[in-house]
């Protein structure tokens, strides 16, 4: 079918598109949460000592992100008051509705992180005062932490992988429809989660600890890690796009139209500026020596993954199924599923981060790795 | 109480509380509240079950369609479809290139697919196929997540701004169940729309299907549509992705292109 021989003249209606700005935000939150959890497991489960100092901090971050994330989903619903129907009805669709898997995942995962954080910080909490935890008990706690972390890894991968599955299962939308979507989402999640840690860690180390020092070696480690995650992300995107645009059935025409029209936003902004630039920063000694460059790379990658989520969710829906050309999306400023709701969600995240960081003695635990006993 | 005892007491308390809480969570919604389907189907409501043994579908004979849009307006008034929403509509195409051109009309409605991709993704069981194949939405159960709207390859679902949930063509199930024809079929001036029971070999639709070569829209989507077309041009069968065209002039004047979602074409 050649373009130009067909004119869609009158009464082409504007079809409905259900998912707005909340959904890319939700994907960004769950993805960053999964990544923060995995990075915390580097130390907790895989015993990588160099990540020990930030293991607790990123575990708390993972928890907070996942508590705030589902609010986006509720806000995107047209009937949020009927949320219980999600839990009560329609269980026969469980095998075929990836969204339904969220019932289990979105409850199990934050609970598990919370329990793991409580176990990890048990020795530091006030309530263990008087009951001095002996070596044996500490050992027991450690084993419990490893076990919870080991259960948590597949759970963290699932909690974000299933969101990619939700999109990948939609064969009506060529940009969503690829079995690579879940792992593509995971790879980009690792990028945004690491980027977020690069942004938050120095702020918290500098201003909210007693030792008030930024661990530059850790920043460099994270920048290098970020670069590797970008490599993985780009490799998966390479396989996705080369197959989807070149060796595909009629879906390739829609994708060519989409990527042609959005060349600047997708290829230049997302791929080059927000992925390749941070990758170069992390891999190059010249840039990775500088705290400012690392921070810059972290910010770029975190924003870049948000843009990728946007391009995927909004861009996918912009492709016409029965109508000509592409649709355009203009998010509302206020009301449900609006720019204001996303800002409100971020405010909630910041409030929760503050609350959790006040409640949990993360700074005392982190100080163990930076301050000698004599200094304390 | 020494330390050990107090600890056991505390542990016992925690255990008991957890057990109680768990039991409460499980028992709170009565056993009936958790359902594989939804309350309407569980109770065997006739509107949810439909006419067992039948399989409704439609044949659209495009040779007879004149693009008068009577079906569109009949549908809108019969089903009280809100402004700017459509369960059925008839886009027009100009095919060929000058000087050899012709117009084509393509009446579209929900295909009531045998393998509906909208139904399988529904997380609340609000949308389902009746036993006679008609795909419907329970507007009391649907929570408006929109997954079905994205899953439909034919753009035949929308959010109803009155009920605030997903809505779609019901093949006028309320009429069919009383022995009437769907409003679009009833009002079709050219007799292009013919509906009936595909399981009945003597029905008008079955006869047309056996008499003429027919096809469906986007067969590659694998949804097995149950709306068949006679004389459907191959150029528009896949509802192809087309370039910017002049279809939005009127909507632009109405200011509709500035809505949350709008067509980019002008």
Domain boundaries of chain B, sorted by first residue: 1-33, 35-253
| pLDDT band at residue A5 under the 50/70/90 scheme | very low
CB-based contact A77:A83 (threshold 8 Å): yes
Report helix, strand or coil for B124.
Answer: coil
Residue A4: the pLDDT is: 42
From chain A, pick out residues whose CB is under 8 angstroms from the CB of B40.
Answer: none
CB-based contact A63:A356 (threshold 8 Å): yes
The Cα–Cα gap between B68 and B46 comes to 35
Q: Which of B228, B238, B260, B265 is nearest to B250 (CA)?
A: B265
From chain B, pick out residues whose CB is under 8 angstroms from the CB of A102.
Answer: 123
| A:214-243 residues touching chain B, CB 8 A cutoff | none
Residue B64: the pLDDT is: 96
The Cα–Cα gap between B196 and B202 comes to 10
CB-based contact A35:A190 (threshold 8 Å): yes
Asked if A335 has any chain B CB less than 8 Å from its own CB, the reply is no
**Kind and range of the H or E run holding A232:** helix A216-245
Q: What is the mean pLDDT of residues B219-248?
A: 81
Angle at A305 between CA A83 and CA A226, to 5 degrees: 125
Residue A1: the pLDDT is: 41
From chain B, pick out residues whose CB is under 8 angstroms from the CB of A131.
Answer: 3
How many angstroms separate the CA of residue A47 from the nearest CA in chain B?
31
The Cα–Cα gap between B106 and B113 comes to 18
Instruction: At B45, list the tokens.
Output: 């409501």
pTM, entire model: 0.90
Q: Which of B190, B228, B189 is nearest to B211 (CA)?
A: B228
Q: pLDDT higher for A4 or A264?
A: A264
Report helix, strand or coil for B120.
Answer: helix
Residue B34: the pLDDT is: 84
| B:104-123 residues touching chain A, CB 8 A cutoff | 108, 117, 119-123
Residue A6: the pLDDT is: 53
The Cα–Cα gap between B107 and B88 comes to 7
How many angstroms separate the CA of residue A169 from the nearest CA in chain B?
8
Residue A203: the pLDDT is: 96
Asked if A171 has any chain B CB less than 8 Å from its own CB, the reply is yes
Reported as a single tens digit per residue, the pLDDT across A149-177 is 999 999 999 999 999 999 999 999 999 99
CB-based contact A34:A159 (threshold 8 Å): yes
Residue B263: the pLDDT is: 63
DSSP B131-192: TTS-EEE-TTT-----HHHHH-TT--EEEETTTTEEEE--TTHHHHTTTPPPHHHHH-TT--
DSSP A259-282: HHHTHIIIIIIIIIIIIIHHHHHH
From chain B, pick out residues whose CB is under 8 angstroms from the CB of A172.
Answer: 117, 150-153, 221
Find residue B263's DSSP bridge partners. A327
Asked if A260 has any chain B CB less than 8 Å from its own CB, the reply is no
Residue A318: the pLDDT is: 92
Q: What is the mean pLDDT of residues A126-152?
A: 78
CA-based nearest residue in chain B for residue A93: B120
| A:29-48 residues touching chain B, CB 8 A cutoff | none
Q: pLDDT higher for B127 or A134?
A: B127
- Greatest Cα-to-Cα distance within chain A, rounded to the nearest angstrom: 83
pLDDT higher than 50, residue A3: no
Between A139-148, B56-65, B71-80, B130-139, the lowest mean confidence (pLDDT) is in A139-148
Q: What is the mean pLDDT of residues A234-245?
A: 96
pLDDT higher than 50, residue B265: no
Instruction: At A327, list the tokens.
Output: 């649709």
Residue A241: the pLDDT is: 95
pLDDT higher than 60, residue A294: yes
From chain B, pick out residues whose CB is under 8 angstroms from the CB of A171.
Answer: 117, 153, 221-222
Chain center to CA of A349: 13
Please give the share of chain B, as a percent, with pLDDT higher than 70. 81
From chain B, pick out residues whose CB is under 8 angstroms from the CB of A87.
Answer: 34
Between A139-143, A221-225, B159-163, the lowest mean confidence (pLDDT) is in A139-143
Q: What is the mean pLDDT of residues A60-74?
A: 95
CB-based contact B124:B40 (threshold 8 Å): no
Between A9-23, B17-31, B171-185, the lowest mean confidence (pLDDT) is in B17-31
Reported as a single tens digit per residue, the pLDDT across A109-121 is 999 999 999 988 8
Residues in chain A: 376
Q: 């409605």: which residue's tokens?
A: B109
Q: What is the mean pLDDT of residues B154-177?
A: 96
The Cα–Cα gap between A338 and A20 comes to 8
pLDDT higher than 80, residue B172: yes
Question: Are B243 and A324 in contact (CB < 8 Å)?
Answer: yes
Asked if B25 has any chain A CB less than 8 Å from its own CB, the reply is no
Q: What is the mean pLDDT of residues A242-271?
A: 92
Alpha-carbon separation of residue A127 from A118, A143, B8 (angstroms): 12, 21, 16
Contacts with A274 (C-beta within 8 Å, 6 or more apart), sequence order = A300, A301, A303, A304, A305, A307, A308
Report helix, strand or coil for A315.
Answer: helix
Helix axis angle for A52-76 and A22-44, nearest 10°, is 160
CA-based nearest residue in chain A for residue B153: A172
Which of A5, A26, A90 best tests the B interface by mutation, with the highest count of B CBs <10 A?
A: A90
The Cα–Cα gap between B72 and B89 comes to 5
Q: Which of A188, A38, A166 is nearest to A102 (CA)?
A: A166
The Cα–Cα gap between A182 and A236 comes to 11
| B:33-72 residues touching chain A, CB 8 A cutoff | 33-39, 69, 72
Q: pLDDT higher for A202 or B259?
A: A202
Asked if B137 has any chain A CB less than 8 Å from its own CB, the reply is no
Residue A44: the pLDDT is: 87
Q: Select from A79, A131, A324 the Cβ nearest to the Cβ of B242.
A: A324
Report the relative pairing of strands B92-97 and A6-8 from DSSP bridges. antiparallel
| CA-based torsion, A281, A287, A289, A291: positive or negative | negative
CATH 3.30.70.20 fits B35-253, yes or no: yes
Q: Which of A168, A15, A248 is nearest to B239 (CA)?
A: A15
**Kind and range of the H or E run holding A287:** helix A285-288
Asked if B18 has any chain A CB less than 8 Å from its own CB, the reply is no
Question: Are B242 and A6 in contact (CB < 8 Å)?
Answer: yes
Q: What is the mean pLDDT of residues B102-118?
A: 94
From chain B, pick out residues whose CB is under 8 angstroms from the CB of A18.
Answer: 145-147, 149-150, 159
DSSP A311-324: HHHHHHHHB-SSSS
Asked if B13 has any chain A CB less than 8 Å from its own CB, the reply is no
Strands (E), chain A: 6-8, 327-329
Find residue B157's DSSP bridge partners. B168
Q: Which of B224, B248, B263, B107 is nearest to A17 (CA)?
A: B263
């Amino acid at each position: 079918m050649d373009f130009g021989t067909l004119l869609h003249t009158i009464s082409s209606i504007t079809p409905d598109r259900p998912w707005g700005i909340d959904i890319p935000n939700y994907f960004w939150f769950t993805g960053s949460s999964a990544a923060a959890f995995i990075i915390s497991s580097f130390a907790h489960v895989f015993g990588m000592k160099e990540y020990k100092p930030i293991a607790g901090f990123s575990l708390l971050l993972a928890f907070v992100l996942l508590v705030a994330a589902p609010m986006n989903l509720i806000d995107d619903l047209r009937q949020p008051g009927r949320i219980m129907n999600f839990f009560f009805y329609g269980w026969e669709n469980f095998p075929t509705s990836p969204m339904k898997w969220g019932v289990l995942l979105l409850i199990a995962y934050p609970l598990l992180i919370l329990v793991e954080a409580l176990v990890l910080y048990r020795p530091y909490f006030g309530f263990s005062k008087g009951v001095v935890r002996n070596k044996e008990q500490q050992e027991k706690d450690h084993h419990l932490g490893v076990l919870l972390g080991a259960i948590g890894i597949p759970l963290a991968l699932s909690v974000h992988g299933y969101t990619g599955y939700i999109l990948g299962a939609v064969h009506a939308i060529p940009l969503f429809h690829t079995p690579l979507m879940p792992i593509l989402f995971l790879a980009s999640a690792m990028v945004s989660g690491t980027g977020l840690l690069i942004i938050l860690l120095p702020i918290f180390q500098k201003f909210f600890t007693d030792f008030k020092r930024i661990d530059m070696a850790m920043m460099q480690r994270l920048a290098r890690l970020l670069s590797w995650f970008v490599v993985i992300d780009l490799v998966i995107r390479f396989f996705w796009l080369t197959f989807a645009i070149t060796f595909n059935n009629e879906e390739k025409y829609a994708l060519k139209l989409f990527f042609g029209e959005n060349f600047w936003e997708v290829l230049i902004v997302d791929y080059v500026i927000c992925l390749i630039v941070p990758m170069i920063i992390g891999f190059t000694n010249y840039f990775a020596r500088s705290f400012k460059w690392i921070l810059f790379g972290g910010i770029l990658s975190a924003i870049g993954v948000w843009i990728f989520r946007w391009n995927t969710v909004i861009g996918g829906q912009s492709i016409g199924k029965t109508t000509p050309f592409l649709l355009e999306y203009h998010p509302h400023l206020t009301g449900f599923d609006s720019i204001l709701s996303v800002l409100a969600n971020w405010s909630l995240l910041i409030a929760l981060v503050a609350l959790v960081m006040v409640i949990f003695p993360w700074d005392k635990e982190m100080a163990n790795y930076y301050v000698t006993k004599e200094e304390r | 109480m020494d330390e050990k005892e107090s600890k056991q007491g505390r542990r016992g308390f925690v255990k008991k509380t957890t057990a109680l809480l768990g039991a409460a969570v499980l028992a709170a919604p009565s056993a009936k509240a958790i359902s594989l389907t939804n309350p309407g189907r569980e109770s065997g409501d006739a509107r949810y079950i439909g006419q067992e043994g039948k399989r409704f579908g439609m044949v659209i004979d495009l040779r007879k369609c004149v693009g008068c849009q009577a079906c569109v307006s009949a549908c809108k008034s019969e089903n009280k479809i809100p402004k700017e929403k459509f369960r059925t509509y008839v886009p027009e195409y100009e095919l060929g290139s000058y000087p050899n051109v012709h117009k084509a009309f393509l009446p579209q409605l929900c295909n009531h697919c045998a393998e509906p991709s909208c139904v399988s993704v529904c997380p609340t069981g609000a949308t389902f196929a009746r036993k006679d194949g008609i795909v419907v939405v329970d507007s009391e159960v649907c929570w408006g997540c929109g997954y079905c709207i994205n899953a439909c390859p034919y753009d035949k679902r929308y959010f109803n701004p009155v009920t605030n949930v997903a809505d779609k063509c019901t093949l006028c199930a309320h009429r069919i169940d009383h022995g009437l024809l769907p409003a679009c079929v009833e009002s079709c001036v050219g007799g292009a729309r013919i509906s009936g029971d595909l399981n009945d070999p003597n029905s008008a639709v079955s006869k047309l299907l056996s008499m003429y070569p027919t096809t469906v829209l986007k067969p590659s989507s694998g949804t097995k549509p149950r709306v068949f077309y006679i004389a459907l041009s191959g150029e528009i069968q896949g509802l192809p992705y087309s370039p910017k065209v002049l279809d939005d002039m009127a909507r632009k004047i109405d200011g509709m292109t500035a809505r949350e979602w709008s067509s980019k074409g002008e």
